[in-house]
Amino acid sequence: VVLVVDFGAQYAQLIARRVREARVYSEIVPSTMPVAEMLAKNPKAIILSGGPSSVYAEDAPSLDRSLFEAGVPVFGMCYGFQLMATTLGGTVDNTGAREYGRTPLTVSRPGSTLFEGTPAEQSVWMSHGDACSAAPEGFTVTASTDVVPVAAFENDEKKLYGVQYHPEVMHSTHGQQVLEHFLYRGAGIEPSWTTTSVVEEQVAAIRAQVGTKRAICALSGGVDSSVAAAIVQKAIGEQLTCVYVDHGLQRKGESEQVEKDFVAATGVQLKVVDAEERFLTALAGVSDPEQKRKIIGREFIRVFEQAQAELVAEAGAEGEEVAFLVQGTLYPDIVESGGGTGTANIKSHHNVGGLPDDIEFQLVEPLRQLFKDEVRMVGTELGLPDAIVQRQPFPGPGLGIRIVGEVTKERLDLLREADAIAREELTAAGLDREIWQCPVVLLADVRSVGVQGDGRTYGHPIVLRPVSSEDAMTADWTRMPYEVLARISTRITNEVAEVNRVVLDVTSKPPGTIEWE
Ligand code: XMP
């Protein structure tokens, strides 16, 4: 394992991802973890992330010098670089000379461990106030900028390396190469971490954990729960039962996809619970978004608990025990709930309205080490079709929170049609991967005047909300081609009765959220 020491501000997650892209397994640890504890994990290398502090700030996080003396290769980035410099006797000045954003870097030792094969002039992403003016003893300065004389230093003998910039961000043109040079050349690590090895490892771990008992999984049709279920199915086969709650708030073709495609690909035992009427009755007369979310979450739990009780009763007759609950928890969820230093944003949603806390199950979380893109790769490895694996995120409460106003069967059917058209056209235009997701929203309480044929209409607007994002925490509206927008608009207004206007949401997040409710 390669440890990424998190000094805050979300850099660590990106670094961990880049390390894995280099096919080396990485984990994030908080900077407050004692060095002895870090070393006890037997890391092959340690990376010190950037962070929001100045090394001169009073409460600046520090590191014990012993980290640099353990013989483990270390790579410091930005704040990590400055910390390394000051800890080992170099000079970092609080010059007030700031560098921010894209900056030209001059490599003075082109053949060095970090920079070999990269251009003498390259663009890097800087974000700092303090500057290193002298490297610690034993280190060679290998790059500089107009503002900082020491923008990179290397010590091959001790296997210690550092750069002032952020190699992990896209804007650093040769950042990934420099990171890989550290891992492969500096630390001598073989790139061997693959999705095949993840699947093998997890299958063995799940078998060991579950033994001969039984497990259940709430399947939503989304990527995470599907891949989690598929990997558990591979491990324990018939001992797994999936429960799919059909709440009537799905998109067109969604239930069929879960029932047919997923079962065909995995052979999993599936229990489908038809609960449409129950959900619609509970939602009748409600337009407040938070209230809708609560009702959907509550009903989901009730239906799931009922299904689970039935399964337990069935299993009981056979003398087996249903003791495990499969969840598609991902690595960012773990990091956000305390795996890191706690500076990262905390997500306000949970899966499918949130399963009960007091549920008497042990959790099986086969994806807890993985990032979203890795989950997709594992899904493909497991033979799941692209229609499942490449799906865009869809909220647990479904179309229930994409109707502004009361949720009724008629409105759901109307929105399902509009949404299906938008999805069809986006797919046909090859935009599925470029667009993170495109909620289609029905403004059920708004009406506007239109003209169709020779007649006046008084219909509802549909909102298109295409967004680009890396992780849904922040997002920007997607600048998508006008022709595609035109096709979607024409088709929706022609084919969906009651809709006479299509509008485009051009708000980033923040200030808007991705969903309208
Ligand atoms: P917002 O609207 O907060 O959404 O910008 C961020 C991401 O989360 C999805 N989302 C949910 N996912 N349960 C979920 O599983 C929910 O209750 C929920 N609400 C929003 C949303 O689609 C976007 O990807």
Mean pLDDT of the region 80-104:
89
Hey, which CATH number is domain 2-186, 3.40.50.720, 3.90.800.10, 3.40.250.10, 3.40.50.880?
3.40.50.880
Cis peptide before 73 (omega within 30 of 0): no
Residue to mutate, 245, 249, 349, 507, ligand 1, most ligand atoms under 8 Å from C-beta: 349
Give the separation between CA 483 and CA 496, rounded to whole angstroms. Answer: 20
- The candidate with the shortest Cα–Cα distance to 186, out of 166, 207, 163, 209, is 163
Indicate if the pLDDT at residue 366 is higher than 90: yes
Give the separation between CA 38 and CA 195, rounded to whole angstroms. Answer: 25
For ligand 1, atom 12: residue with the closest CA: 395
Mean pLDDT of the region 404-421:
98
Q: pLDDT of 114-155, one tens digit each?
A: 999 999 999 999 988 888 999 999 999 999 999 899 999 999
Mean pLDDT of the region 77-103:
90
Question: What architecture (CATH level 2) is domain 195-389?
Answer: 3-Layer(aba) Sandwich (3.40)
Q: pLDDT of 484-505, one tens digit each?
A: 999 999 999 999 999 999 999 9
For ligand 1, atom 3: residue with the closest CA: 513
Q: Which residue spans of the chain are classified as CATH 3.30.300.10?
A: 408-504
3-state DSSP: the chain helix, strand, coil percent, rounded to 5? 35, 20, 40
Q: In the annotation, is 168 catalytic?
A: yes
- The candidate with the shortest Cα–Cα distance to 407, out of 287, 487, 246, is 287
467 in a known ligand binding site:
no
Residue to mutate, 330, 394, 513, 515, ligand 1, most ligand atoms under 8 Å from C-beta: 515
| Residue 102, both tokens | 């894209």
Position 304 scores a pLDDT of: 87
Indicate if the pLDDT at residue 350 is higher than 50: no
Give the separation between CA 139 and CA 117, rounded to whole angstroms. Answer: 21
For ligand 1, atom 19: residue with the closest CA: 395
Give the separation between CA 87 and CA 181, rounded to whole angstroms. Answer: 24
Contact 437, 467 (CB under 8 A): yes
Indicate if the pLDDT at residue 354 is higher than 70: no
For ligand 1, atom 4: residue with the closest CA: 514
Give the separation between CA 475 and CA 332, rounded to whole angstroms. Answer: 17
Q: Which residue spans of the chain are classified as CATH 3.40.50.880?
A: 2-186
Q: Which residue spans of the chain are classified as CATH 3.40.50.620?
A: 195-389
Position 336 scores a pLDDT of: 61
How large a percentage of the chain has pLDDT more than 90? 72
Indicate if the pLDDT at residue 68 is higher than 60: yes
The reply to whether CATH 3.60.21.10 applies to domain 408-504 is no
Name residue 504's beta-bridge partners.
Answer: 464
| Ligand 1 atom with the shortest distance to the CA of 437 | 24
Residues framing ligand 1 (Cβ under 6 A): 349, 351, 393, 395-397, 437, 472, 509, 513-515
Angle between helix axes 372-381 and 223-236 (nearest 10 degrees) is 40
| Ligand 1 atom with the shortest distance to the CA of 475 | 5
Position 387 scores a pLDDT of: 86
Position 417 scores a pLDDT of: 98
pLDDT band at 464 (very low <50, low <70, confident <90, very high): very high
